[in-house]
Structure 1
């Protein structure tokens, strides 16, 4: 009887006009039904699952994406990244997108400050964008965003601020440089259904310190990635499984009073610097 139900549902997709939709739906049904049979799911547990997904939808809005957060903490986001971003030569590795990207970030010039008043230690970020044969990519769009030192993105505040996010374009030599913030660890939002899931399963909501990048250019594969701070004690327990060894970088601390690369006067403030050279794979790979 159990397998007969599965077979009947699978046959219901026989007239689906789109082959890919038919393939995906049949596979989804097979795996879902197998899960129910494997764990002998109770009706009470199914009701709780439906309620969990309902609450996940209710808390999601244009500033908070709880479903992306759920995908992240279950490792589905990283698995999808792995499937869609196969290694290509020396191309920079991708990682999770996360729930805090916002379209239409402000543009800054080379050497500009993407913090826009966000709290944190200044960090000089620089590097190049090249293709896999080493040619510089001029005019590549480099989108960057991060949390402030209190562990919050601008979208988590109630005052409509835009801070710690921006985009800039590489110069003729493929170079880019800007001021950001030295990344610090933070907890993903855990005051909703996803946080309750983590608590119930004994998992931490903490993310390793990181700075987000999205880099795009014509005829090249768009890269979504982060860089992480070497020495962060959370590198091996990142809540969304986003850390890759190649993306762990040296954020070198600089004493207060140390000369800055662009002559910026930081008075008596300490700062840091990091280099991240980015290699883009050809589009379609």
Structure 2
């Protein structure tokens, strides 16, 4: 039989250490100040030593207590993960998908309702990362979607969408500027994306237009910001067709030179090899790879 310290006392100890205050810990745990103090005293009696010292900044664990605190937090984290997994098994399958904000908002989320309707016991939980890099991902994730090839041990990377970009402008800009040739774009504001700073240089090379190494124009942090600026007539931008097809279909955006395109490796999904044998994982992969064309508009 395991010899464990009082779990309620451990919660009070961890909260007081994290908050550096008994009062704040009591507020977080929704108990009284004296209740937290009593639990800390109970734990001190259990170990036969003091756990905290007071300083100008509040409570501070003793060196021995600080080392113990790291193990307590790790144990709580493992318990939380175990509880989540048990809940998933009890209420259905949960699949976690990580992608960029632009892809989530412009492509994935508008389409997921169809997947959920056909697979009601599978929950898709979508998170976003500001960067295309995947090395910094620390939370558990089943599928990673990016605009490039990815690599991880014991994982599979599959291409599922073309990544073809072209120039688009809003109808308002076309009313005031004549774009008869790619050269004419040098006379309008060119909207840049910080994550793709060379996009305009690459497009002009495809178009056979000589340009300076540095092309002027405002830079945007996110693709959908540059896209909205183009829709509002503030300039021309470059975007992947799969993320702007609805705007092109409705006339919110116009592609003046659709035959001049930047072709990239494609949109890819990365997943553990074992997921290919998982029924829910295979269902999501099959659904992902047959998605094509704009989202059907609801009548």
- State the TM-score, normalizing by the size of structure 1: 0.21
Larger Rg: 2
TM-score after normalising by structure 2: 0.20
Higher normalized helix content (fraction of residues): 2
